[in-house]
Amino acid sequence: MAEAERIIGTSEADDAAVPAERGRRRIAALFAVAAVAYLLDLGSKLLVVAKLEFHEPVRLLGSALELRVIRNPGAAFGVGTAYTVIFTIIAAAVIVVIARLARRLYSLPWALALGLLLGGALGNLTDRIFRAPGLFEGAVVDFIAPAHFAVFNLADSAITCGGILVVLLSFRGLDPDGTLHRN
C-alpha cells in the first residue's frame, strides 16, 4: 500500500488535508464577510454621528428615504428599551456561538450567512459597549429611515440578510458542515 501511495503521490494524510483546507477557506470567508460588514457599519456610524447628529435629516429619494440619527437603547423597532444589558449579552452569545460553529463549517453559503450575522452582531455590540450612557448600556446608532418603517443601521441590515440566508439554507436542507439532507 505504501508503495502504491508513493507512486500515485497521495496518502490518507493528503485526503484528510483536502477537507481541512476547504474548512479553513470557509472560515476565512466567514471572517472576511464579518470584517467587511463590521467595518462598513462602524464607518457609517462614525460618519453619520459626525455629520448628521443634531442636524436636520437628509432626504434621499424624495420622501421615500432619509438619513436621521437616533440612539436606540432597545432592540429592533425600539422594543425593550429597558433591556439594553440583556441585548448586549445576547449579542455576545451570538458571537460566541458563531465562533464555535466556525470550526465545523464546510459550506460557503453558510460562511456568508454567518459572516453577515457575526459582523452585524459585532457592530451593534460595539455600540452597546462603548456608546453613552455607559459600558454595556450604550444605545445603538440608527440612521437609515425609510418612509413608514423603523430606523435601522447597516449592522441591522447585515443581521437581517444573514438571518434570511440561514432560513433559506435550512429550507434547502444544506447544513453548515456542507451536507445536504432531505426530510
Which residues does the annotation mark as catalytic? Answer: 142, 156
Strand partners, 140: 72
Largest CA distance in the chain: 77
Of all residues in the chain, what percent are helix, strand and coil, respectively (each to 5)? 60, 10, 25
Are residues 121 and 95 in contact, defined by beta-carbon separation less than 8 angstroms?
yes
Q: How far apart are CA 69 and CA 141, in angstroms?
A: 7
